[in-house]
Structure 1
Amino acid sequence: MKAKLLCIILFSVVLYSCRSESKQGLTSSYLSTDDEDILNGKVIFEQKCSYCHNFNQDAIGPNLSGITKEVSVQWIKEFIKNPSLVLSENDERALALHEKYKINMPGFPDLSEKEFNELISYINSYSKKKATSNTNLGNPIDNPIEDTLVYSDINANIKFVAQVPASAKSPTLARINKLDCAGNSGRIFINDLRGKLYELNNNQPKLYASISEFNKNFVHEPGLGTGFGSFAFHPNFEENGLFYTAHSEKPDTKKADFFLPDSIPTKMQWVVKEWKNKDPKSTSFEGTVRELLRIDFVTIMHGIQEIAFNPTSSKNESDYGMLYISLGDGGSVGQGFPEVALHEGSQVWGTILRIDPSGNNSGNGKYGIPTDNPFINSKQKKKEIWAYGFRNPNRVCWNTKGQMFATDIGHKIVEEVNLIEPGKFYGWPIREGAFVLNTFGNQSLAYPLPQNDDEYGVTYPVIEYDHDDGVAISGGFFAQKPPFNGKYIFGDIPVGTVFIADLSETKQRNIKKLNIVLKEKQTDFAQLIKKNRVDLRLGQDCNGDIYMLTKADGKIYKMTY
């Protein structure tokens, strides 16, 4: 079995192009060469397509240069508009795509005919290019992890808890992204990426704060992780009323504290803010808001994925009240700017930061840099960095021993869970999991580790799985109650599979899948939401119970024991 790629690829139809005249439809000669049309198409491409594609090399999706010379323009338009419909009609190319990538791409039915023509005219303006390759890496590994995962004897019994209010008229109804305990208060909160923070009280979500109302430059479109990304309540929230949020804004809204070189475009800014409710026990927010830091990103994806406090630290420990901030690489490597994530200078992209929100010794004077940070005396790395070498560290958690773990969403090779230790390098973009990555060439291939691998100083995942078993890892948590007894429960975002692993053991076969049982009937989340793409997220309440969130329908489920 060959490794499956991260997401279904919009224009990889070149691999399955049908040559019959009846299916070719409109050809590239039909497309506009007008400069204004092409410029308009560029804007659409950057908003809708750049998450997966570019014209320099294979990224999440393939290099699109020359695609309109090889594939029917009419077929591409129909597929962009409604890929699920094309698939349901048993179209040969669509079926091949689904077999290869195991997941549907979203459709864009709202594009007008003019916009379709402009978009494809822009794509048509690029001639075919070949990505550079590194011949010193040896032969690629055909199948990074040979065996597929099996099911555990343990089931994940769940019950329906709540329906989050819809923030859109059609799926995704509520972009619910995180459920977490609010510090020492015992209260549970959940966010919608479109800018809403709810408190879950007696299984009823009630609006606590509207992030968008306090941030006029807030953006949550075109999706793909943008919006109200994460939140974290101070461990002493019940007394000080402090909590923190991360959200996205338009590029150049304000001067960033961490900015890209002038030669690299900025498509998004991410902002961390502190909120202080004047009455911590209030069921809605009324208080003050201040900005802590602002960061530029190359693309709209892989921004600030997570902010969190260590829930196992006590007031007399140095980690108490220190805020961890997980930053993706901003899509820089896939878009042809690997230097942003190579950490040869003072970059912060692809790192986990650790700051003291109550301090002021940072460059902007709005937060503190803890004196026990690993690079506090470094002249090469930012003093805020706790660990580095991540592609997209989307969630962090701690076990009962106080050890920190982070999931990192892979590119095309593996999904991984890492034990996070201060100052360690976790490999990206020269490694993906325990495999060598061709950073400057075809990034879809895995290569074996070199004999001198120790010289690179890479810390490898405690567990990893390849794309035979999923395509994008979700965050996970430790379940303490029987029958799980401290095992790590996590999932795969698009596929919706739930996994169990013992992180005290680091062998790959330690990972198993969990059967989902609802009302004593075995099911899975794709069946429950009646969609192929699940968009599964996991959360944990103040009692340690684990929740499962499905974005497509805005529903919350709770694991029962």
Structure 2
Amino acid sequence: MLKTVAPIFLGICICLIGGLSGCNSTSSEQTENKNKAGKDTYRTGELAVQHGMELFNQHCASCHNFSENGIGPNLAGVTMEVDKEWLLSFVANPPGIIESGDARAVALFEKYQQYMPPFPMIQEEDLEDIFGFIHKFSQGERRSKNNRPGGLINPIPDKIAFSNLTLMLEKKLVVPASAESAPKTRINKMEAIPGNRLFLHDLRGKLYEIKNDSSLSVYLDLAETLPNFTDNPGKGTGFGSWAFHPDFVNNGLFYTTHNEPTGTAPADFAVPDSVRVAVQAVVMEWNTVNPLSGTFAGTHRELLRVDMVSGAHGFQELTFNPLATPDTDDYGLLYLGIGDGAAALGGHPYLCNSNQYIWGTVIRIDPAGSNSVNGRYGIPKDNPFVDVPNALGEIWSTGFRNPHRISWDLNGSGKMFITNIGQHSLEEVNLGIAGADYGWPEREGTFLFDVDANPELVYPLPEDDGDFTYPVAQYDHDEGTAVSGGFAYAGTEVPELMGKYIFGDISRGTLFYSEVDEMINGQQAPVYKLKVSMNGELVDLEKITEGRRVDLRLGTDTEKELYILTKGNGFVYKVVGCEEIVL
């Protein structure tokens, strides 16, 4: 095992060869040294690269970096300059390569005066992940335009500690497969709707009603109903999200988001002509003739359409404020998180760092109104940018890379939580504040991000920090790669979770919590890990999902109890208890 190798030896080894890249790879990922074109191949999977980064920070970072020579050489670009087979053979037998007279090995030894024995016990899988990370980082250095110094590979060195809490899970149901090959399902959201009913959906088009905690029936199939519906390209395209009007039992209205091919119809929010469009994102309103029916029958209309630069980071959470009552201004207003569409690193950062563009924002609209440009929805008069010249009145807040989930604390504080998936360094939980700028692409977490520098790095904040709003909880990529929000627990069956905001990591399946009372604007609340058990035994979601990417989602039921969903295999687990161990 790699962890059995003395850190100094591994550090010297990698030090002599240089290199950085990956994090967790999957069994389907190519690990041969050469591709068909004869070029070296390195792991690119997000989990392989993350794992490689974790190993690098643990064993190599004390001797190596990617900006300058230290105890060992600068590793930037080593995977592009040196043949991979040479790198692997050197790690396997450094003295032998040096004694053979190899020019590079001899030159490195003469410069650094470090000599080590071979380490054949280093597992190939771990080494592949390390090189994958080095390679990815080197690619980032190559695309850098300004060679900015001072980058941080590991912005939060301290590891998140496990709490004394263990969530007890019980499998409740398995959603039917929507494809023959993996991922068999793409389940994404589960929550109760007005009328005390419980719904769940699959990105490939089906909206299900869950009955008696264990059976499913199809309420609506967008793929069959909408002729231009598409769930390609990307992991997030398809039937993205949904929200039922708070007065659904009377007016029969609900809303969905989905994708359609480029050019299907003119976009209400189009990119400039010089920018390539990969897919369109659409918000629809549905009006059922019978709100009590188990299947949809009625009409639908389009509210708005947006061009997206890529199939990633598109429309995310669609929701109503559950705390709003008919006598408040927020009642019946629809919130929608919109990602940057990968525009920031696709050469178009101006599209997602301004209140003049819709990308990288949370919008707030009135589906019953008509004062929008297209006349199909309304712009609330109290939206923060309504009276700002040249700004979009729809925008409620800006500065998001990928605002994945939105929820509210139902237990008195009324806090609004917006989780934002970061680039390569930080994952965020933010408090929702009207008019706030959360920083992307100039900030990632509580750090500076530079689109013209290596995108695998962040930097310390400058003294003239600007008027940005920072997350109230965050973690870096030693802990995970993509945050999954998240609910302030509001049920009654697990009292140990009261006062806690529960969230997780999509890829790794790690579960976290922060105390709601400690999540205060301008501060970062401590984050704690939660253990998980089933049938009285501790379990790892990565193992029970039989894949390194867990694809974790969280949901709630009609009683506000908490559920864990694994997107790719369709498993739905209920949190039925919480064991507290007194430390």
Q: Same fold (TM over 0.5)?
A: yes
Q: Name the structure 2 match of 1:486.
A: 499
Report the secondary structure of 1:447's partner residue.
coil
Q: 2:540 aligns with which of 524, 532, 535?
A: 524
AA of the residue aligned to 2:372: S
1:96 aligns with 2:127: yes
**How far apart, CA to CA, are the structure 1 residues paired with 2:188 and 2:21?**
23
1:406 corresponds in structure 2 to: 418
Change (3 A) 1:5 1:309: farther
Residue 81 of structure 1 is matched in structure 2 by: none
Q: Quick check: 1:167 aligned with 2:178?
A: yes
Amino acid at match of 2:446: A
Cα pair 2:499 2:517 within 8 Å, conserved: no
The aligned residue for residue 511 of structure 1 is 527
1:499-524 alpha-carbon deviations (Å, 9 max, x no partner):
11113214657211111111111102
- Aligned-partner SS, 1:96: helix
Instruction: Tell me the secondary structure at the aligned position of residue 484 of structure 2.
Output: coil
Cα 1:527–1:364 shift into 2, 3 Å? same
Which structure has the bigger radius of gyration? 2
The answer on 1:469 being equivalent to 2:500 is: no
Using the TM superposition, give the Cα deviation of residue 460 of structure 1 relative to its aligned residue in structure 2, in angstroms. Answer: 0.3
User: Post-superposition shift, 1:140?
Assistant: 1.7
Question: Which one of the candidate residues 133, 140, 143 is aligned to 1:131?
Answer: 143
1:258-273 matches, cutoff 5 A: 258-273=269-284
In 2, distance between residues paired with 1:488 and 1:143? 25
Q: Which amino acid aligns with 1:321?
A: G
Corresponding residue for 2:562?
A: 546
2:436 corresponds to 1:424:
yes
Q: CA RMSD in A?
A: 3.3
How far apart are the structure 2 equivalents of 1:418 and 1:540?
20
Quick one: percent identity of the two aligned structures?
A: 41
Structure 1: runs of 5 or more not aligned: 31-48, 53-64, 74-89, 106-126
How high is the TM-score relative to the length of structure 1?
Answer: 0.79
1:150 aligns with 2:161: yes
Cα distance in structure 1, aligned partners of 2:46 and 2:153: 26
Instruction: Look up the match of 1:122.
Output: none
User: Which of 435, 439, 462 lines up with 2:447 in the alignment?
Assistant: 435
1:546 is matched by which residue type in structure 2? L
Q: Is the contact made by 2:141 and 2:453 (CA closer than 8 Å) also made in structure 1?
A: no
Please show how residues 88-237 of structure 1 align to structure 2 within 5 Å.
94-98=125-129, 130-134=142-146, 138-182=149-193, 184-203=194-213, 204-237=215-248
Paired with 1:6 and 1:352, the residues of 2 have a C-alpha distance of 32
**SS at the partner of 1:527?**
helix
Seen in structure 2, the aligned counterparts of structure 1 residues 384 and 151 have a Cα distance that, compared at 3 Å, is: same
Q: Distance in 2 between matches of 1:347 and 1:51?
A: 29
- Looking at structure 1, the residues matched to 46 and 371 of structure 2 have their Cα atoms a distance apart, in angstroms, of 36
Q: Distance in 2 between matches of 1:25 and 1:351?
A: 40
Distance between the aligned counterparts of 1:29 and 1:139, measured in 2? 31
Over 3 Å counting, the alpha-carbon distance change for 1:71 and 1:171 in structure 2 is farther
Letter in 2 for 1:433: G
Query: What is the rounded CA distance, in whole Å, between the counterparts of 1:29 and 1:152 in structure 2?
Result: 46
Q: Which residue of 1 aligns with 2:514?
A: 501
The equivalent residue for 1:341 is: 352
Once the 2 structures are TM-superposed, how far is the Cα of residue 171 of structure 1 from its aligned partner? 2.2
Is 1:248 paired with 2:259? yes
Is the contact between residue 134 and residue 438 of structure 1 (CA under 8 Å) also seen in structure 2? no
* Amino acid of the structure 2 residue aligned with 1:242: L
Aligned residues: 479
Conservation of the 8 A alpha-carbon contact between 1:359 and 1:369: yes
In structure 2, what is the equivalent of residue 119 of structure 1? none
The equivalent residue for 1:370 is 380
Give the corresponding residue for 2:4.
none
Q: Which structure 2 residue ranges, 5 or more long, are not aligned?
A: 1-6, 12-19, 48-76, 86-120, 578-583
Partners of 1:66 and 1:128 within 8 A in 2: no
Give yes or no for the alignment of 1:325 onto 2:343. Answer: no
Q: For the residues of structure 1 that align with 2:36 and 2:286, how far apart are their CA atoms?
A: 54
